[in-house]
Amino acid sequence: MAGLRLIVGLGNPGAEHLRNRHNAGFWFVDALARQVDGRFGMESKLRSETAKVSYAGQSLWLQKPITYMNASGAAVAAALRYWKIEPEEMLVAHDDLDLPPGAARLKFDGGHGGQNGLRDIFAHVGHGRFHRLRIGIGHPGPGNRDRVTPWVLGRPSASDEAAILRAIGDAFEVLPLVVGGEFEKAMHKLHTSTEEQ
């Protein structure tokens, strides 16, 4: 399987959203940029903040769409076209209601699971054949559909935030494998490590 050339973090722009659960994808790419001294700059034609970094021996683009979560697809599709990157060479990091805080899962292809940023990427790219990093944020509970929006747009408790950051750290442990195209190996290692906690 091809290695990665683009890592997209999904979230909402603005200081008021910075610590929201919905911004876990931004947390991931921000932490990655810090790790490799990457600097985000505004790329207005891509409606994104972008950074070019060297990681695990590869040249990588990092992208944070500034379109708000529900309209992420146009920015992502524009970046793929502009940099001539295939969707299969992209990893999208996003929050996931179906996983508890502290869990991180890698996935390739499949549905969007109701995640609105993914849903919009599907609409613009035309399919779901790209890599995802699902970062667990937990769920407000069964029968609480009306609480989902305030939940994802709310700030996690201190213990949940620590668990989410720990899951991001676990994902970093296997990221060199993902970037190098060893996706199955990375998936096995990540899923085994987070199940043991």
Q: Helix (H, G, I), strand (E, B), or coil: what is residue 135?
A: strand
Check 17, 22, 112, 127 and give the catalytic one. 22
Which residues does the chain have with pLDDT short of 50? none
Residue ranges of domains in the chain, CATH in brackets? 6-195 (3.40.50.1470)
Measured CA to CA, the distance from residue 61 to residue 63 in angstroms comes to: 7
Q: List all residues 6 or more positions away from 151 whose beta carbon is below 8 Å from its beta carbon.
A: 21, 97, 139, 140, 144
Opening angle at CA 108, ends 107 and 114, nearest 5: 70
| pLDDT given for residue 95 in this prediction | 97
pLDDT in tens, 10-47: 999 999 999 999 999 999 999 999 999 999 999 999 99
The secondary structure of residue 23, as a DSSP letter, is G
Per the annotation, the verdict on 22 as an active-site residue is: yes
| pLDDT given for residue 43 in this prediction | 96
Phi and psi dihedrals of 84, rounded to 5? 55, 55
| pLDDT given for residue 1 in this prediction | 60
Q: What's the whole-model pTM score?
A: 0.95
